[in-house]
A = this chain, B = another copy of it.
Amino acid sequence: MADVLALDGTGRAELAGEELRELYRLMVAVRYLDESAIRWQRQGLIPGYAPQLGQEAAQVGSGYALDMSRDFVFPTYREMGVARAVGVDMVEYMSTHKATWHGGLYDPKASRFAPIQAVVGGSVLHAVGWAHGQTLDGTPAGELGVAITYFGDGASSQGDVHEAMNFAAVMKAPVVFFIQNNGWAISVPTERQVAGGSVAARAAGYGMPSIQVDGNDVVAVAQATAAALAHARAGKGPAVVEAMTYRRGPHSTSDDPGRYRTLEEERADGGEDPLARMRARLLADGIADEAFFEEALAAAKAEEEQIRAGINALGPRPGTEMFDFVYQEPTQALKAQASAWREESEHV
């Protein structure tokens, strides 16, 4: 894996001890929560979930590289690890999977994390618009807020993604297109999805730098993302990071991957588990020991317990909220519908 077009400026120095340990902690927390969510679904606590198993390095590494005092994240639906890494309230985040509120209950503005997005490719243009906005308010180059948009190999086929890349490159908007190429879009493998085989390779056609990075190496991802962010922040325009990873689990809790890939294939194509890899690295470099790993796991478990309790406690939202958030300035017609609904549903 190599730079398709070199990014100048690495943006961030080498990561050292505590930073690496923090990356590991985040990955464990994400892994544990992710696996738990699948259990939650089996237990009937939530109706469905889209696991990110195997994508912890891509998500945590990129999320970690962000400067959340000025950057803004535009996720799709599988970015639980990014949300966790940048500090989104995880009960509010997971609430979307409990069918409580489409997009999640967290405040996207305060969290600097756009609502969870079910339209594949739907939010990529939003990132471009937000990013272009940063260049209009007088912020000097070098200090620009950067939009990072997360999407998949499948999403790269959508027309909106092309329009977004072209708009961003024409306007030199500070946006990082972060692709998690996890090999699959539900049942369709990348080779029948992405002509040419790489989304990063498309960037050159727009005159945009890109980097294809080993998406299972959390440090490499963090560094590639930092480089892309630095490029955008400096006012040099957009950049593409394509993290090559693997969707180790099903597409969602409703999916049956056995219909389109064998366990052997999964094992062969999945490569090394990003978590195991980071653990080995920390051990080898003497940055962490078993006690640290146990501690990290214990913290992850405690965290999951809290989140589960929060999800458990989440009741349905009051029906009035169906009407409350449609407009900033509600219409008489809608108010009348809300009253009718109340009368009929509460039998008043």
Alpha-carbon distance A160/B205, docked complex (angstroms):
17
Chain A at the B interface: mostly helix, strand, loop or mixed? Answer: helix
Closest to A193 in B: B170
Q: Is A27 an interface residue (CB 8 A)?
A: no
CB-contact partner of A205 in B157, B158, B166, B196, under 8 A:
B196
Closest to A125 in B: B159
Q: Is A99 an interface residue (CB 8 A)?
A: no
Q: Which of A157, A159, A168, A169 has the most CB of B within 10 A?
A: A159
- A158: chain B residues at CB < 8 Å are 159, 163
B205, A201: Cβ atoms closer than 8 Å: yes
Alpha-carbon distance A158/B161, docked complex (angstroms):
10
Alpha-carbon distance A165/B157, docked complex (angstroms):
10
Alpha-carbon distance A170/B195, docked complex (angstroms):
5
CB-contact partner of A204 in B157, B169, B205, under 8 A:
B205
Q: Is A202 an interface residue (CB 8 A)?
A: yes
Q: Is A192 an interface residue (CB 8 A)?
A: yes
Q: Is A208 an interface residue (CB 8 A)?
A: yes
CB-contact partner of A196 in B169, B197, B201, under 8 A:
B169
Closest to A195 in B: B169
Name A142-186 residues within 8 Å CB distance of B: 157-163, 165-166, 168-170
Q: Which of A162, A192, A207 has the most CB of B within 10 A?
A: A162
Q: Is A206 an interface residue (CB 8 A)?
A: yes
- A162: chain B residues at CB < 8 Å are 159, 161-163
| A120 to B: closest C-beta gap in Å | 13
- A207: chain B residues at CB < 8 Å are 195-197
CB-contact partner of A195 in B192, B197, B201, B208, under 8 A:
B208
Alpha-carbon distance A207/B208, docked complex (angstroms):
17
Alpha-carbon distance A193/B157, docked complex (angstroms):
20
Alpha-carbon distance A193/B166, docked complex (angstroms):
8
- A195: chain B residues at CB < 8 Å are 165-166, 168-170, 206-208
Interface residues of A (CB under 8 A from B): 157-163, 165-166, 168-170, 192-197, 201-208
Q: A161-B162, A170-B194 are in contact. List 17 more A-B contacts (CB 8 A).
A: A157-B163, A159-B160, A162-B163, A166-B194, A168-B195, A169-B195, A170-B193, A195-B206, A195-B208, A196-B204, A196-B205, A196-B208, A197-B207, A201-B204, A201-B205, A202-B205, A204-B204
